[in-house]
Amino acid sequence: MRNGLADRDSMDPATLAAYDAPFPDQTYKAGPRALPLLVPLRPEDSIVPDMRRARAFLGAWQKPALVLFSDRDSVTGGWQPFFRQLIPSARNRPQTIVRDAGHFLQEEKGEVVAQEIEGFLAMPG
């Protein structure tokens, strides 16, 4: 959790403990630790067909879409242009980058995320 923050020391211990609560010991973290392994690196990786279906689904999405990333996300930081281009309804929307945040936008810039969502919902069509 801490590694995904723009400021690794910004999260209070109680919040960190809440994120760790579902994982009483390391054996419970097998799922989260396996998640990066699901990112396909080769065309023959088993997850590739699922990723292609997801890409086709998003590529046909016609409802409004908000694509929101941060400027200091070490996990998915460079993906915003890809998703803005992939999702037809996101292409002509303003680019939205949350400043001074890492991967966990809801923790570091929750108020900014809420404002962006409110603004998005208030936009016509």
Confidence grade of residue 125 (pLDDT, cut at 50, 70, 90): low
Confidence grade of residue 30 (pLDDT, cut at 50, 70, 90): very high
d(CA 86, CA 77): 16
Residue ranges and CATH numbers for the domains of the chain are: 2-122 (3.40.50.1820)
- Give the tokens for residue 6: 């723009």
pLDDT, tens digit, for every residue of 43-59?
999 899 999 999 999 99
pLDDT, tens digit, for every residue of 94-111?
888 999 999 999 899 999
Q: Specify the pLDDT at position 94.
A: 84
d(CA 43, CA 45): 6
Whether the predicted pLDDT of 68 surpasses 80: yes
- Name the residue among 109, 35, 39 with its Cα closest to residue 71: 109
Query: In the Cβ-directed half-sphere of 90, how many Cα atoms lie within 13 Å?
Result: 18
Please tell me the pTM assigned to this model. Answer: 0.79
Q: For all residues of the chain together, what is the average pLDDT?
A: 91
Cβ–Cβ < 8 Å for 120, 90: no
Confidence grade of residue 118 (pLDDT, cut at 50, 70, 90): very high
